[in-house]
Amino acid sequence: MGEINSSKKTLCYIGLGSNVGNRYEHILQALELLQDTDGVKMLRVSALEETKPVGPPQPDYLNGVAAIETTLAPLDLLDRLQAIEKQLGREHIEKWGPRTIDLDILYYGDETITHPRLTVPHPEIAQREFVQRELKQAGYHG
Ligand code: PH2
Ligand code: MG
Ligand code: MG
Mean pLDDT over residues 126-140, rounded? Answer: 97
Fold of 10-137: Alpha-Beta Plaits (3.30.70)
User: For 29-65, what is each residue's pLDDT tens digit?
Assistant: 999 999 999 999 999 999 999 999 998 899 999 999 9
End-to-end Cα, the chain, rounded Å:
33
Confidence at 90, pLDDT banded by 50, 70, 90: confident
* Domain segments of the chain as ranges: 10-137
Mean pLDDT over residues 117-140, rounded? Answer: 97
Q: Is the CB of 59 under 6 A from ligand 1?
A: no
Mean pLDDT over residues 56-83, rounded? Answer: 97
Confidence at 5, pLDDT banded by 50, 70, 90: low
Q: Whose CA is closest to atom 1 on ligand 1?
A: 96
Residues above pLDDT 70, as percent of the chain? 94
Stated pTM of the model: 0.94
pLDDT given for residue 7 in this prediction: 82
Q: What angle do CA 19, 23, 29 make, to 5 degrees?
A: 130
The yes-or-no answer on residue 117 being catalytic is no
Q: Is the CB of 20 under 6 A from ligand 1?
A: no
Cα–Cα separations (whole angstroms), residue 96 to 55, 70, 99, 124, 126: 6, 27, 9, 11, 16
Measured in Å, residue 8 CA sits from the centre of ligand 3 at: 25
Mean pLDDT over residues 94-109, rounded? Answer: 91
